[in-house]
Structure 1
Amino acid sequence: MKKLLKLIGLPAALLLSLSLFACGEAPQEKKAEEPAKTEEAQAPAPKEEPKMVKAGFIYVSPVGDAGYSYAHDLGRQAVDALPWATTKFAESVPEGADSERVLRNMAREGMDIIFATSFGYMDPVMKVAKEFPDTKFMHCSGFKKGANVSNYFGRIYQARYLTGLIAGSMTKSNKLGYVAAFPIPEVIRGINAFTIGARQVNPDVKVHVVWTKTWYDPALEKDAAKSLLDAGCDVITQHQDSPAAQEAAQEAGAYCIGYNSDMSSFAPKANLTSAIWNWGPMYVKTVEAVRDGSWQGDQSTWWSMQDGVVDIAPMGAMVPDDVKSLVNAKKAELMAGKDTVFAGPIKNQAGEVAIAEGSTPDDGALLGMDWFVEGVVGTTN
């Protein structure tokens, strides 16, 4: 028996040892797995990176012109200052084929939203928007829209009206000069609002209009202003991008009213005030909507003095206190939402009632305005 045990003892011991090793191994594996499962359950979910917004801007004139593009670029800078936004701009982009090329290149670069800031960019925007349905487009001052295209502008006519009150109060010749770019509703509406304001304080005033058919041409703008000064106008205003008309007025010893930004530094002895833009609030709010997903296409947005997008610059020291008080009172009404600039009765150039007493044109009628009010000397072409 001992001999038999001796013969089988070694394998049995080995089997016993293997059996004991196997029985002891499973708990060790289980203990090793449990902490791993616990750690995995406690691990925090990865944080989602905040969405960055890339915004492109296209300007029709140089950003250093102190005018229209300069004002838009100040708005772009407000967007660029946001920690989650980056911007790019192209300046002095002609309307037409050149703008189409620039729009397309910006879309290819992955811009989330592109702001086209001139009226003549409208058709190129509509064409390029169809090619890039995931890119959002905002067109300034136009009226065409699409699934990924909305348009925007501000009620600058409110500021024009206030500057008209000043001009009508300051003129001695009762002749006001208006250097204007193109005969489109945006410009015509501003001329009308300016004239309405001027004639409210001085019914004998006439507003003489000269068209330059350009947004930015300092030499041509100055020549146009000189022609109005030679015709006896003693207050010059403008819908142009440079301060050239302001300089012409000061050189002639006349008064002037600027546009787009505060132009008093270019004609400190002559500048009464300026109708100004403040695009920052609008641009910031728009890119915020892109970021949070609330931006919508096929919309029209028209910002007012209440929104802080349009205003007038500080009035010059030459403006009498009673005129300043009148203008500030009318501005307070506009700031409170009481917009009666185009409240009837309003007559057209032919002396016919174009807006009846007790009525006010809706935004569609204002956006399509193609006629001059009584008191304007000039044609809409």
Structure 2
Amino acid sequence: MALYRKYRPATFAEVVGQEHVTDPLCTALDTGRISHAYLFSGPRGCGKTSSARILARSLNCVEGPTSTPCGTCASCASLAPGGGGNLDVIELDAASHGGVDDTRELRDRAFYAPAESRYRVFIVDEAHMVTTAGFNALLKIVEEPPAHLIFVFATTEPEKVLPTIRSRTHHYPFRLLPPATMRGLLGDICAQEHVPVDEAVYPLVIRAGGGSPRDSLSVLDQLLAGAGSDGVTYTRAVALLGVTDVALIDDAIDALSAGDGAALFRTVDRVMEAGHDPRRFAVDLLERLRDLILMQAVPDATERGLVAAPADLLDRMRDQAARLGPATLTRCAELLHAGLGEMRGATAPRLLLEVVCSRMVLPAADTSDAATLQRLERLERQVASGVVSAPAAGAAEPGQASAGAPPEPA
């Protein structure tokens, strides 16, 4: 069984990172302030449908409505993850059943009393796919439903839900998980699966999942499926996920800090020889620049969870942030971001990547303000390190006569 199904939460206490939603729902259940319609919105894979099932389970528990269903009664057993389902809890996928005929059938079925439970609960997934005519067919029953009926609409795009429907619901927005919370969730699951995972693998999984628990667990599931006797190693994770090896990113950053165009182009050549996608290399390099910018702007970025990486990589990143100035980091990030747009659909992405690299290491070829700031920053660092000697005090600038010197004859 897939990890995201195996570890699907069965109670609100098991829902990770959504306390701003689960706490008010638990309070409402325990105090009996139950609404007839709910709207769960948020990015994909954040627990909207799972929370809707938990809500139905909590409402129909023999000890309920309660925020802590017993888990042993017939209703709890049927609605548990992996359960056989309940006749009184109906899930409708609006992506394929969002037409007016489907919603009219749902409306007609909704008037029947529950067969064996306290409430009839209709969970409408992908609710933004319901047509306007379909929402209009539901409008009257959502506005004035029978006492036994509860609607739960789940959607990734709440603004597309008909405003007259949205205004009659209690709206709970779900959010993506921050890296620190996701790291704890992934670590707990790996411990339960008894599979060792290199610490450097977790940031790769977290970034690949984009903050979605379901997507992150799908990525982790793939890595665990291919794990050997030594567990999930960094090398295997890099190969499976297609991300750029951190050594190549470090070499690119070192070349940028030294202004060494030859070293940077050699790194691009190694990227291609390793079979990496040049677009993915550009994305990974942009993410590193983003981390370095944050480490410069926020000294305790790692403690705040703004930058996540293994301890040895964080030490290297601190050194890189000290060697690269803010003007250089900002301009390189802007060039990479613009280059990624140009690479979309390009037939020669390597060529475009090399053009972007040449722009990053040759600010003198650019007349923009950002390039001027980068040149000034580089000159200041060279003067501070003694590579270039500063002009002596009172020394004349090139092309200017010294003070008190006689003018040259005409």
TM-score when scaled to structure 1?
0.29
Return the TM-score normalized by structure 2. 0.27
Write 1 or 2 for the structure with the bigger share of strand: 1
Larger radius of gyration: 1
